[in-house]
Structure 1
Amino acid sequence: MNSSLIKKLLAVLFLLVCILSIGPAHAYTVSEPDFSSMMEENGAVMLLIDPETSEILYANEAAAKFYGYSKIELETMKITQINMLSSEEVKHEMQDAALENRNYFVFKHRLADNDIRTVEVYSYPVQYEGKQVLFSIIHDETGRVILQEKQDKLIAGVILSGIAVIVILLILLLLLQQNRKKIGKAKQRIENYSKLIDTFINAYDSMIYLKDENLNYVFANESLKKFFKKSSDEIVGKDDYALSDTAFAEIRRQADQAVLSKKRILSDEVEWNGHVYSTTKFPVRMLNGDFGVGAYIMDITSQREQKKLQDKISERNKILIDVISLSFHNKQEQLDYVLHRALDMTDSKYGYIYYYNEETEVFTANSWTRGVMEDCNITNPQTRYELNKTGIWGEVVRQRKPIIVNRFQEPNPLKKGYPEGHVELGRFMSVPVIIDEKIVVVIGLGNKQTDYDDNDVDNVTILMGGTWQAIQRKETQELLSFERNKYLQTLISIGDGVMVVDRNARIEMLNGVAQRLTGWTNEDAQGRDYKEVFVLSHEYPNHSVADPIEGVLKTNTVQELGNHAILTARDGTRYHLEDSAAPIFNERGVNEGVVLVFRDVTEKKEQRNKIEYLSFHDTLTGLYNRRYFEEELLQMDTEQNLPISIVMGDVNGLKLTNDVFGHTAGDVLLMSIADALRVSGRPGDIIARWGGDEFVMLLPKTSSEEAKEIVSKIKDKVVHQHVKAIKGSISLGIGSKTKISDSISDALDEAEDNMYSEKTIESETVRDDEIKIIMDTLHTISPREKEHSEEVSRLCEAFGKAAGLSEVKVKKLKGAGYLHDIGKIVLRPELLNENYPLTEEDLNEVRKHAAVGYRILNSSEKTLDFAEAVLAHHEFWDGTGYPKGLKEEEIPLIARIIMVIGTYERIANKKGDKALNKREAVEALRKGSGTQFDPNVVETFLQMLESEI
Structure 2
Amino acid sequence: MKQNDRNFLWKRMAKKKNTGSQEVTMAPKVRKAWRKRLGEADYQEMMVECNSEAMALLVKTAGGWVYCYNNWEHEKMTGFGQKAIRNQSLKTVLGEAYYQVYEKNADWCRESGETILFKGTASWNGEIRERMCRMTPVENDGQDFIVVTELNTKVLKDWMTKNHLATTRFDQMFQTHTATMLLIEPESGRIVDANPAALAFYGYSLEELKTMTIDQINTLSQAAVHDLRQQALAGRQQYFLFPHRLKSGAIRMVDVHASPLELDGQQYLFSVITDATEREQNAAALYREKELHKTTMDAIHDGVITTDAEGNISYLNPAAEQASGWQLADVLGKPFDAIFPICHEYTREPLTGLLAQVLEDGQGQEITVPTVLLNKEGMMIPIETSLAPIRAQNGTISGVVMVFRDITLSREKKRRIEYLSYHDALTGLYNRRFYEQYFSQKEIKLIHPMAFVMGDVNGLKMTNDVFGHAIGDLLLESIAKTIKVGAGSRNQVIRWGGDEFMIVMPGSDLKDAERLVKRIKEKLTDICINGTIEASVSFGMALKKSRDDEPGAVLKKAEEMMYQIKLLESKSMRGTTINALLAALDEKRAETKAHTMRLSDHVMKLADLLALNVEAKNRLILLTMLHDIGKVGIPDHILGKPGSLTDEEWQIMQTHSEIGYRIATNVPELHVVTEEILHHHEKWDGSGYPSGLSGEKIPLNSRILAVVDAYDVMTHDQVYQPARSHEDAIRELRDQAGSQFDPRLVERFINQLSHW
The interval holding the TM-score normalised by the smaller chain is 0.5 to 0.7
- Encode CA deviations 1:377-399: one digit per residue, 9 max, x unaligned: xxxxxxxxxxxxxxxxxxxxxxx
Other structure's SS at 1:673 match = helix
Are 1:860 and 2:676 matched, yes or no? no
- Encode CA deviations 1:403-430: one digit per residue, 9 max, x unaligned: xxxxxxxxxxxxxxxxxxxxxxxxxxxx
| Whole-Å separation in 1 of the counterparts to 2:754 and 2:683 | 25
* Contact 2:311/2:400 (8 A) holds in 1: no
Are 1:603 and 2:409 matched, yes or no? yes
| Whole-Å separation in 1 of the counterparts to 2:413 and 2:382 | 12
* Contact 1:497/1:517 (8 A) holds in 2: no
Gaps of 5+ in 2: 1-290
Q: Give the counterpart of 1:654 among 460, 465, 481.
A: 460
- Encode CA deviations 1:37-93: one digit per residue, 9 max, x unaligned: xxxxxxxxxxxxxxxxxxxxxxxxxxxxxxxxxxxxxxxxxxxxxxxxxxxxxxxxx
Other structure's SS at 1:805 match = coil
- Encode CA deviations 1:509-567: one digit per residue, 9 max, x unaligned: 4854768767898599839699x9221236xx999999966986897633313385444
Are 1:722 and 2:528 matched, yes or no? yes
2:539 maps to 732
| Whole-Å separation in 2 of the counterparts to 1:547 and 1:732 | 65
**CA offset at residue 816 of structure 1?**
0.8
2:644 maps to 837
CA distance 1:834–1:527, shift in 2 (3 Å) = closer
1:643 maps to 449
* Contact 2:525/2:534 (8 A) holds in 1: yes
Counterpart of 1:906 in structure 2: which amino acid?
A: V
Highest CA radius of gyration, 1 or 2?
2
| Whole-Å separation in 2 of the counterparts to 1:885 and 1:620 | 39
CA distance 1:579–1:785, shift in 2 (3 Å) = same
| Whole-Å separation in 2 of the counterparts to 1:543 and 1:535 | 5
Q: Give the counterpart of 1:889 among 662, 678, 696.
A: 696
Are 1:621 and 2:430 matched, yes or no? no
Are 1:941 and 2:717 matched, yes or no? no
CA distance 1:547–1:630, shift in 2 (3 Å) = farther
CA distance 1:622–1:545, shift in 2 (3 Å) = farther
CA distance 1:512–1:823, shift in 2 (3 Å) = same
CA distance 1:582–1:666, shift in 2 (3 Å) = same
| Identity across matched positions, percent | 33
| Whole-Å separation in 2 of the counterparts to 1:715 and 1:924 | 54
Other structure's SS at 2:591 match = helix
- Written as runs of structure 1 = structure 2, the 5 A alignment for 1:43-442 is none
**CA offset at residue 628 of structure 1?**
2.3
- Written as runs of structure 1 = structure 2, the 5 A alignment for 1:763-782 is 763-782=570-589
Are 1:743 and 2:556 matched, yes or no? no
**CA offset at residue 742 of structure 1?**
0.7
**CA offset at residue 703 of structure 1?**
2.3
Q: Give the counterpart of 2:602 among 795, 801, 813.
A: 795
* Contact 1:548/1:580 (8 A) holds in 2: no
| Whole-Å separation in 1 of the counterparts to 2:350 and 2:472 | 49
CA distance 1:637–1:878, shift in 2 (3 Å) = farther
CA distance 1:546–1:824, shift in 2 (3 Å) = farther
CA distance 1:835–1:679, shift in 2 (3 Å) = same
| Whole-Å separation in 1 of the counterparts to 2:390 and 2:705 | 92
1:713 maps to 519
* Contact 1:873/1:899 (8 A) holds in 2: yes
| Whole-Å separation in 2 of the counterparts to 1:544 and 1:703 | 56
CA distance 1:648–1:585, shift in 2 (3 Å) = same
1:125 maps to none
Q: Give the counterpart of 1:809 among 616, 622, 625.
A: 616
* Contact 1:870/1:895 (8 A) holds in 2: yes
Q: CA RMSD in A?
A: 4.2
Q: Give the counterpart of 1:704 among 501, 510, 518.
A: 510
Q: Give the counterpart of 2:335 among 502, 508, 526.
A: 526
* Contact 1:876/1:885 (8 A) holds in 2: yes
* Contact 1:778/1:824 (8 A) holds in 2: yes
1:931 maps to 739
**CA offset at residue 744 of structure 1?**
0.5
2:384 maps to 578
CA distance 1:576–1:722, shift in 2 (3 Å) = same
Are 1:496 and 2:303 matched, yes or no? yes
Counterpart of 1:634 in structure 2: which amino acid?
A: S
TM-score (norm 2): 0.52
1:688 maps to 494
| Whole-Å separation in 2 of the counterparts to 1:536 and 1:940 | 93
Are 1:752 and 2:559 matched, yes or no? yes
Other structure's SS at 1:783 match = coil
Equivalent pairs counted in the alignment come to 455
**CA offset at residue 908 of structure 1?**
3.5
TM-score (norm 1): 0.43
1:139 maps to none
| Whole-Å separation in 1 of the counterparts to 2:455 and 2:624 | 36
* Contact 1:545/1:562 (8 A) holds in 2: no
Counterpart of 1:898 in structure 2: which amino acid?
A: L
Counterpart of 2:476 in structure 1: which amino acid?
A: L
Counterpart of 1:905 in structure 2: which amino acid?
A: D
**CA offset at residue 592 of structure 1?**
9.6
| Whole-Å separation in 2 of the counterparts to 1:691 and 1:899 | 43
CA distance 1:633–1:579, shift in 2 (3 Å) = same
**CA offset at residue 899 of structure 1?**
1.0
Other structure's SS at 2:368 match = coil
CA distance 1:515–1:809, shift in 2 (3 Å) = closer
* Contact 1:652/1:731 (8 A) holds in 2: yes
* Contact 1:578/1:598 (8 A) holds in 2: yes
Counterpart of 2:610 in structure 1: which amino acid?
A: A
**CA offset at residue 683 of structure 1?**
1.8
Counterpart of 1:770 in structure 2: which amino acid?
A: T
**CA offset at residue 862 of structure 1?**
1.0
* Contact 2:448/2:545 (8 A) holds in 1: yes
CA distance 1:679–1:574, shift in 2 (3 Å) = farther
* Contact 1:643/1:703 (8 A) holds in 2: yes
Are 1:871 and 2:678 matched, yes or no? yes
**CA offset at residue 767 of structure 1?**
2.5
- Encode CA deviations 1:340-387: one digit per residue, 9 max, x unaligned: xxxxxxxxxxxxxxxxxxxxxxxxxxxxxxxxxxxxxxxxxxxxxxxx
- Encode CA deviations 1:762-811: one digit per residue, 9 max, x unaligned: 22322222222111111112111222123213333343344332222222
Counterpart of 1:846 in structure 2: which amino acid?
A: M
CA distance 1:918–1:864, shift in 2 (3 Å) = same
Counterpart of 1:814 in structure 2: which amino acid?
A: I
CA distance 1:935–1:675, shift in 2 (3 Å) = same
CA distance 1:613–1:499, shift in 2 (3 Å) = farther
Are 1:826 and 2:636 matched, yes or no? no
Other structure's SS at 1:884 match = coil
| Whole-Å separation in 2 of the counterparts to 1:710 and 1:515 | 57
| Whole-Å separation in 2 of the counterparts to 1:547 and 1:742 | 60
* Contact 1:629/1:686 (8 A) holds in 2: no
**CA offset at residue 891 of structure 1?**
0.9
Other structure's SS at 2:435 match = helix
Other structure's SS at 2:425 match = coil
1:633 maps to 439
Counterpart of 2:460 in structure 1: which amino acid?
A: L
CA distance 1:810–1:663, shift in 2 (3 Å) = same
| Whole-Å separation in 1 of the counterparts to 2:324 and 2:424 | 38
| Whole-Å separation in 1 of the counterparts to 2:697 and 2:373 | 77
**CA offset at residue 627 of structure 1?**
1.8
Gaps of 5+ in 1: 1-485
**CA offset at residue 648 of structure 1?**
2.4
* Contact 1:797/1:811 (8 A) holds in 2: no
Other structure's SS at 1:621 match = coil
CA distance 1:885–1:515, shift in 2 (3 Å) = closer
